[in-house]
Amino acid sequence: MTTKFYDALQLDPSILKRRIAACETKKEKTFYRAAMAVRSALIVAFAILFISLLSGLFGADNTPMAVALFCMLLGIRFVNFEYCAGDSLAGLAAALAILTLAPCAAAQAGPALVAPLHFAAFFALLFLTSQRPEMGNGGIYSFAYIYLTGNPVAGEALARRGLMALAGWLVCGAVLLAKHRGRHADTRFHHLVRRFRLSRPECMWQLRMALGVSLVLAAGQVFGVERFMWMGFACGSLLSEYSLPGSAAVRFWQRIAGAAAGCAAFALLYLALPAGLRPLLGPLGGFCMGFCTDYRYKTAMNCFGALMIGAGLYGLSGAVALRLADTVLGAAFGLCFAALFHRLSRRLLPAADPAL
């Protein structure tokens, strides 16, 4: 067995599952299965420690920013911004400023300004961080923006959120330099600005994501939809697919099926467990995520943490009903928007990538 256990812990679950399938001995299969379990447990333990520490320092009302920073920290270890380290540090600072200020500003904006504000902020965020959508950065920063939009703060809490973002910039910036120093050394950020063209597939993807997500978030805010960020998650998840039209309907039904299965599993466990053990359902969902490679199962496990919070606000049945309703609305909007965007882009920009 040539792979070290530490090295196996660094592998994605999809890679670990492929290696398990290719193993010829029971010992090798046990090795990789143990690595998958330990990897998942370590991520959950680190998440609890990291988020608890930041929440303790900067206030429980800023826990959503701590969650966003945790996701960014995990992602930035493997994926950079595709431009030089110095500019990347500045880009990271700008991204964190957007995540800190834009969602809170949108919460105070009038109905006519909500969608333009979200669009400008979200597009800038994607352009700063996601030049290669297939690497998954778009999903991380999309999640962070939507989650913070659903949890705005003001006044002194906003100041503490800014300080947390500064702490996050120091930590994530250090990891970025350690892992990616020297990469793309000849590419400056202004080079990306100069070569921006809607005929480029990554630029069209950024536009599609920003426009679709900003519209669904604005609609949720203006019409007062409860937990409208769940609509945003469903829509953003569907639109984050790089080559979308051919898989939009498939991903739509996978999202619905995953949400239904996750809500059912959560409800059964919630009712079966004593009240004192129910808070463990959130970490349980995170642990199970470490074994998931299929989009449906990831969607199901993502329900656990959301429903644990929702159950405290709306009761179990209310949280489940709201989760399902918001998911259907967000995914349906994303599906219709993707089809319309694809048709208009093909008509107005015939030279654009047909996959978009």
Does residue 235 register a pLDDT over 60? Answer: yes
> What are the angstrom distances between the C-alpha of 168 and each of 65, 72, 253?
9, 9, 36
pTM of the model: 0.93
Does residue 267 register a pLDDT over 90? Answer: yes
Residue 206: inside a domain, yes or no? no
Tell me if 233 sits within 8 A of 330, measured CB to CB. yes
Same domain, 353 and 215: yes
DSSP-derived letter for residue 247 is G
Residue 13 binned pLDDT confidence (cut-offs 50, 70, 90): confident
Same domain, 355 and 247: yes
Closest to 146 (Cα-Cα) out of 220, 248, 79, 253: 220
Of 196, 228, 243, the residue that ends a domain is 196
Rounded Cα distance between 196 and 185, Å, is 19
Closest to 64 (Cα-Cα) out of 153, 180, 129: 153
According to the model, what pLDDT value does residue 2 have?
Answer: 64
Lowest mean pLDDT among 125-129, 184-188, 247-251, 273-277: 247-251
Lowest mean pLDDT among 84-93, 268-277, 344-353: 344-353
| Range 308-328 average pLDDT | 95
Same domain, 64 and 98: yes
- CA of residue 129 relative to chain centroid, distance: 13
| Range 326-348 average pLDDT | 90
Same domain, 264 and 326: yes
The token pair at 98 is: 């957007």
Tell me if 51 sits within 8 A of 67, measured CB to CB. yes
According to the model, what pLDDT value does residue 5 have?
Answer: 86
- CA of residue 110 relative to chain centroid, distance: 27
The token pair at 108 is: 């105070």
Residue 114: inside a domain, yes or no? yes
Rounded Cα distance between 78 and 180, Å, is 9
| Range 204-231 average pLDDT | 94
Rounded Cα distance between 148 and 20, Å, is 38
Same domain, 316 and 350: yes
Same domain, 188 and 220: no
Residue 50: inside a domain, yes or no? no
Residues near 83 by beta carbon (within 8 Å), at least 6 away in sequence:
91, 131, 184, 187, 188, 189, 191, 192
Residue 234: inside a domain, yes or no? yes
Tell me if 96 sits within 8 A of 169, measured CB to CB. yes
According to the model, what pLDDT value does residue 354 have?
Answer: 47
Domain range enclosing 248: 211-356
Of 136, 164, 196, the residue that ends a domain is 196
Same domain, 192 and 238: no
Residue 180: inside a domain, yes or no? yes
Residue 298: inside a domain, yes or no? yes
Same domain, 5 and 116: no
Same domain, 328 and 224: yes
Please classify residue 109 by burial: count the beta carbons closer than 10 Å to its beta carbon, then call 0-12 exposed, 13-18 middle and 19+ buried. Answer: middle
Does residue 262 register a pLDDT over 50? Answer: yes
C-beta neighbour count of 94 within 10 angstroms: 16
Of 166, 196, 226, the residue that ends a domain is 196
Same domain, 39 and 76: no
Residue 11: inside a domain, yes or no? yes
| % of the chain with per-residue pLDDT over 90 | 75
Tell me if 210 sits within 8 A of 127, measured CB to CB. no
Same domain, 76 and 147: yes
The number of folded domains in the chain is 3
Residue 341: inside a domain, yes or no? yes
Same domain, 19 and 112: no
